[in-house]
Amino acid sequence: MPDEKKPAIANLSTEVRTFPPPAAFADVANAQPSVYEGANADWLDFWEKQARDRITWFEEPTVVLDDSQAPFFKWFTDGTLNVSYNCLDRHLDTIGDKVAYHWVGEPGDTRTFTYRELHDEVSRFANALTELGVRRGDRVAIYLGMIPELPIAMLACSRIGAPHSVVFGGFSADALASRINDAEAKVVITQDGAWRRGEVVPLKANTDVALVRCPTIEHAIVVRRAGNDVAMTDGRDVFYDDVVDGQPAEFEPAVMHAEDMLYILYTSGTTGRPKGIVHTQGGYLTGVTTTHDYVFDLKPDDVYWCAADIGWVTGHSYIVYGPLANGATGVMYEGAPNFPDNDRLWQIVEDYQVTIFYTAPTAIRAFMKWGDEYPARRDLSTLRLLGTVGEPINPEAWMWYHEHIGGGRCPIVDTWWQTETGAIMITPLPGAVSTKPGSATLPFPGIEADVIDDDGNSVPLGGGGYLVLKRPWPSMLRTIYGDPDRYVQTYWSRVPGAYFAGDGCKRDEDGYFWLLGRVDDVMLVAGHNISTTEVESALVSHRAVAEAAVVGRKDELTGQAIAAFVTLRAGEVGDDKLLHELRDHVAAAIGPIARPQSIVFTDDLPKTRSGKIMRRLLRDISEERHLGDVTTLANEAVVKEIAEKAQRSSA
């Protein structure tokens, strides 16, 4: 193609199924279509109104957006507030006895916290942290599993004004140490051991290994959970209950400026060295409360369950800050979804009569792989809304979720956002927007998104390219901790004035957004830029397939050839016949150009700790490169197995 300009990313697939909101849902939905009209008329006014209505300020802000130092945007700069006060204290007179969390331990024990109980425990812990020397502005590392002390610790930090840095409990000592050191944390909060699939993960022992090289840490606070033996270093380590018991259940919340730091959260590192994403107070709380209310259609008697880990941003925004500030009753589960059996989550939905459920495509594909009988065992009829986040959802996985979990009646909100965005950016409003399986649909009110080509020009509807956000928004990251240049470089230098998300995207004729995976993963086959998502979704649309990953492997003839890795549904056999069938199936579904050159059947795919497919490693395997460090993977062993199979299939 000498002169013809090739599209930044090709658009190969078309999805024709649409699902309008059920009338009964739409009639009483929190977000009516008029919300878009209001926000379109004046987006700054829209955010100002949300900030005023949804937050209890100590001093109301008069400034909405300060863009004088763009891209270092500031929001509500002269307002003061306390986030913990907004999540707890202001509810005490009205819903103090309402359940804030139903907590379910993996071994089967349970705990329940009302808003008042949560307030009291947070205050006691804030007093204990203060006694241990934590002051406003100090950074506190939190390395805990999914136990109630995790949100309690976050809220205690925000009460004091000490930014927290939550490190996912599945991370290694190395990952913990580098995050502690980058943030120069003064205190680390951990637990003896965390339950995971019936076994104890020794978090305190990992912490001990990390702390050998963390000079800024003065104290480690240890929650007793699994009862395993731990070594305590005199003068440094204390048990949570020892320092909390007997503390007063009152702690005056610090008066924070809207732009003071609320937390640092390191991105998972799918694409390289972790970045310390910085979020602040007023804008963040505005973003998470608004989206949580409108996207999840929260009603006072809902039982809301975001089944993510608080170690990721999803848990920060939609297990802790958004739901608590909105006064929701939430469910929190400690353990694995397949312990003791594959129906554990559905059992919890039944037990607590969950009405809103939010999870990730990786989990949905695992449910598909395990089989339809597990959700069928339980009564899921209380569910009225489903959500997904984390990766593009394959249309067939969407349909499976819709039928087998949603009983065909629940709207699904496919929510696109990032650690950096703080809150949901592209999503249906479930009572106002018709959904299409695989599309995150439309930008949230107040958000302006676009798809651009290599020259930064907007791509007309029907075409693919790179996703950008063209206006600042209140919950946006403020910088990368300690590295403002990298902030500008990574997000604001590709396109003048726009935030570069790093994801491929296309829009259909209705203006709906279809996320196409990471820009770095796009494959170049015979002059066409092909997204991983479309080929993977074509594979998953075959009845035998539960999950698929594809990568571009160097090829003398075509530049890159498509190498596919496929996990089958329970009971299916990956033989030569199926292999040929799948290659033809992809060619028929989205075109011969996308036909995989090779397919490897595997029981699992390499995933990050947050459950996302790690295509970079599959590329290394396909091109027979040295694999380097795989310890950030959730499932290290699978890489070796796939590498061996890939070698055999190419021999």
Binding region for ligand ATP (CB under 6 A) out of 48-56, 195-203, 416-424, 537-545: 416-424
Please count the residues of this chain forming the interface with ligand ATP, following the rule CB under 6 A. 24
Distance between CA atoms of residues 82 and 59, nearest Å: 11
Q: Does the protein bind ligand ATP through residue 505 (CB under 6 A)?
A: no
Q: Pick out residues in 462-501 that bind ligand ATP (CB under 6 A).
A: 501
Q: Does the protein bind ligand ATP through residue 391 (CB under 6 A)?
A: yes
Q: Does the protein bind ligand ATP through residue 269 (CB under 6 A)?
A: yes
Q: How far is the CB of 399 from ligand ATP (least distance, A)?
A: 16
Name the residue type at position 373: E
Q: Does the protein bind ligand ATP through residue 440 (CB under 6 A)?
A: yes
Which C-beta is closer to ligand ATP: that of 334 or that of 414?
A: 414
Q: How far is the CB of 469 from ligand ATP (least distance, A)?
A: 12
**How many other C-beta atoms lie within 10 A of the C-beta of residue 57?**
17
Q: Does the protein bind ligand ATP through residue 138 (CB under 6 A)?
A: no
Pick the binder of ligand ATP from 260, 343, 414, 536 (CB under 6 A).
Answer: 414
Which ranges in 282-432 belong to alpha helices (H)? 282-296, 313-315, 322-325, 344-352, 361-370, 373-376, 395-400
Pick the binder of ligand ATP from 13, 80, 191, 267 (CB under 6 A).
Answer: 267
Distance between CA atoms of residues 304 and 30, nearest Å: 15
Which C-beta is closer to ligand ATP: that of 118 or that of 154?
A: 154
First to last CA, the chain: 33
Distance between CA atoms of residues 284 and 424, nearest Å: 11
Q: How far is the CB of 584 from ligand ATP (least distance, A)?
A: 27
Q: Which residues are within 8 A (CB) of 343 and not within 5 positions of it... i.e. 6 or more apart?
A: 374, 375, 377, 378
Pick the binder of ligand ATP from 50, 419, 441, 529 (CB under 6 A).
Answer: 419
Which C-beta is closer to ligand ATP: that of 11 or that of 80?
A: 11
Q: How far is the CB of 271 from ligand ATP (least distance, A)?
A: 4
In DSSP terms, 333 is beta-bridged to: 104
* CA 298 to the chain's CA centroid: 19
Planar angle of CA 293, 295, 299, nearest 5 degrees: 45
**How many other C-beta atoms lie within 10 A of the C-beta of residue 205?**
17
Binding region for ligand ATP (CB under 6 A) out of 114-122, 128-136, 413-421, 599-607: 413-421
Pick the binder of ligand ATP from 123, 268, 567, 602 (CB under 6 A).
Answer: 268
Distance between CA atoms of residues 176 and 66, nearest Å: 35
Which C-beta is closer to ligand ATP: that of 105 or that of 390?
A: 390
Contact between residue 392 and residue 533 where contact means Cβ atoms under 8 Å apart: yes
Binding mask 345-384 for ligand ATP (x = CB under 6 A): ----------------------------------------
Q: Buried b vs exposed e over 188-202: b needs ≥16 C-beta within 10 Å?
A: bbbbbbbbbeeeebb
Q: How far is the CB of 295 from ligand ATP (least distance, A)?
A: 12
Cα dihedral across residues 129, 132, 136, 139: positive or negative: negative
**How many other C-beta atoms lie within 10 A of the C-beta of residue 239?**
15
Q: Does the protein bind ligand ATP through residue 598 (CB under 6 A)?
A: no
Distance between CA atoms of residues 446 and 458, nearest Å: 19
CB under 8 A, 24+ apart: contacts of 369-373: 369/546, 369/547, 369/567, 369/568, 369/569, 369/570, 370/338, 370/342, 370/570, 371/342, 371/569, 371/570, 371/571, 372/404
Binding mask 289-318 for ligand ATP (x = CB under 6 A): -----------------------xx-----
Q: Does the protein bind ligand ATP through residue 321 (CB under 6 A)?
A: no
Distance between CA atoms of residues 34 and 37, nearest Å: 5
Which C-beta is closer to ligand ATP: that of 149 or that of 414?
A: 414
Which C-beta is closer to ligand ATP: that of 104 or that of 413?
A: 413
Q: Does the protein bind ligand ATP through residue 260 (CB under 6 A)?
A: no
The candidate with the shortest Cα–Cα distance to 605, out of 631, 639, 574, 580, is: 639
Q: Does the protein bind ligand ATP through residue 390 (CB under 6 A)?
A: yes
Q: Does the protein bind ligand ATP through residue 389 (CB under 6 A)?
A: yes
Residue 224, SS3 per DSSP: coil
Provide the token pair at 259.
């732009």
Distance between CA atoms of residues 348 and 94, nearest Å: 28
Distance between CA atoms of residues 216 and 50, nearest Å: 39
Which C-beta is closer to ligand ATP: that of 79 or that of 443?
A: 443
Binding region for ligand ATP (CB under 6 A) out of 115-123, 217-225, 342-350, 411-419: 411-419
CB under 8 A, 24+ apart: contacts of 114-119: 115/88, 115/91, 115/327, 116/92, 118/88, 118/151, 118/152, 118/155, 118/324, 119/88, 119/89, 119/92, 119/249
Q: How far is the CB of 306 from ligand ATP (least distance, A)?
A: 13
Q: How far is the CB of 533 from ligand ATP (least distance, A)?
A: 8
Distance between CA atoms of residues 174 and 269, nearest Å: 14
Binding mask 184-203 for ligand ATP (x = CB under 6 A): --------------------
Q: How far is the CB of 52 from ligand ATP (least distance, A)?
A: 29
β-bridge pairing 385-388 and 412-414: parallel
Which C-beta is closer to ligand ATP: that of 103 or that of 491?
A: 491
**How many other C-beta atoms lie within 10 A of the C-beta of residue 4?**
6
Pick the binder of ligand ATP from 77, 216, 353, 418 (CB under 6 A).
Answer: 418
Planar angle of CA 97, 100, 102, nearest 5 degrees: 110
Which C-beta is closer to ligand ATP: that of 257 or that of 612?
A: 612
Q: How far is the CB of 455 from ligand ATP (least distance, A)?
A: 22
Helix axes 576-590, 532-540, angle to 10 degrees: 120
Q: Pick out residues in 323-342 that bind ligand ATP (CB under 6 A).
A: none
Which C-beta is closer to ligand ATP: that of 158 or that of 610?
A: 610
Which C-beta is closer to ligand ATP: that of 396 or that of 414?
A: 414
Q: Does the protein bind ligand ATP through residue 148 (CB under 6 A)?
A: no
Which C-beta is closer to ligand ATP: that of 148 or that of 390?
A: 390
Pick the binder of ligand ATP from 415, 441, 475, 537 (CB under 6 A).
Answer: 415
Q: How far is the CB of 71 from ligand ATP (least distance, A)?
A: 18
Q: Pick out residues in 511-570 that bind ligand ATP (CB under 6 A).
A: 515, 518
Binding region for ligand ATP (CB under 6 A) out of 6-14, 106-114, 348-356, 415-423: 415-423
Which parts of this chain interact with ligand ATP (CB under 6 A)? 267-271, 312-313, 389-392, 414-416, 418-419, 440, 501-503, 515, 518, 610, 612
